[in-house]
Amino acid sequence: MWIYNKLSYSRQWKGENTSEAVFIMDAVNSNFCHSERQMNRIKKRITVRFFSIRANDSFFDDFISIHNANQANEKNVRIINIREKKYLIKIHEALPHQNNRVFFLSVVRERNTWQVRALADGTISGIPLNQGIMGDPYYFFVEPKDKIILGFTTGMSGSLKGIANSTLQQFSKDRTTKVTLEPVSNEREFSRLKELSGYNKLYFKVDTTSLDEPNEGVPELLRQLNAVPFMANNSEIALTITEIGGDGFSESKLVEIVSYLSEYDGCSALTVHGVDNEGVKVHLDFSKTYAIFKTDIEIRDKFVDETEAKKILFNALSSFDRSTITNA
């Protein structure tokens, strides 16, 4: 592009067809500006996950009541501490969707990995927060009628379920009531996994880019693999485990890893081979088990804002097959 720019100036200086030269230069500059705008846009792959909410019926009444009270009192933002981390929870107005109401929640979970900031002049200092927090954004739609919550994050995908659960707990008036989440499943693969009488092989392929982030839910095996020196220049782990049970890899650890990776966005393959109570060989594929919605978007900032998040969640909800809900 810059070569064409110089040629344009050269032709104009020599007194040739100046109108053509100016046209070429303007076109080049226009293309450069367009390319610059394109470079400023960031492409992101978003994965929305769906969870069934397991709780007493009173919880859903409490959720709506607390939501409405906060909206009426204009107290729609709360900052709370959960396990030594700050959470900002923002409650938005209820939105209509297909003769139903959905409740939009924005959550920012503090991330403690940033300790200081460094300026161009060499100054190193703490990060001024001005009574706010720095962390990762999470966006959720809650449908009390169908007892589901769907959401996504541009942060650590493996933490989505835990953040959703912690957020919902804040809407329960009875703190003794337990709220649990289960991925909305197209098949009952996970229950079949626990029914197997023996396991022969576990295979998984996973992107490790966020496994080294602080996340209490990451199984110990994955942490250890990601810490191996040769993984420093690699972003993917593919592993097959065949010695399961007895003195080998424990069955409880297998179930733990499958439970975690089946909900982890960076997992591209996850299969288990085993036998049922009648000795019949069983092959379970968890990579396509759960209901998800994927989309690619282009944004100017490094994060997805609330306006864009609502559009994504509406599209996800519109594509959702409600027949997959098992506890509605």
**pLDDT tens per residue across span 250-263:** 888 898 888 888 77
In the chain, the DSSP E strands lie at: 42-54, 77-82, 85-96, 101-110, 116-118, 124-126, 135-143, 148-153, 180-183, 198-207, 236-241, 267-275, 281-285, 292-299
Per DSSP, 112 falls in state T
CA 172 to chain centre: 24
Structure confidence by residue, pLDDT tens digits, 194-233 = 888 889 999 998 876 666 555 566 788 887 877 776 655 5
Q: How confident is the model at residue 157 (pLDDT cuts 50, 70, 90)?
A: low
Q: What pLDDT shows up at residue 106?
A: 95
127: tokens are: 């990060």
pLDDT at residue 78 is higher than 80: yes
Structure confidence by residue, pLDDT tens digits, 293-327 = 889 888 777 788 999 999 999 999 998 876 555 55
**Contact, 49 vs 152, CB < 8 A?**
yes
**Contact, 240 vs 201, CB < 8 A?**
yes
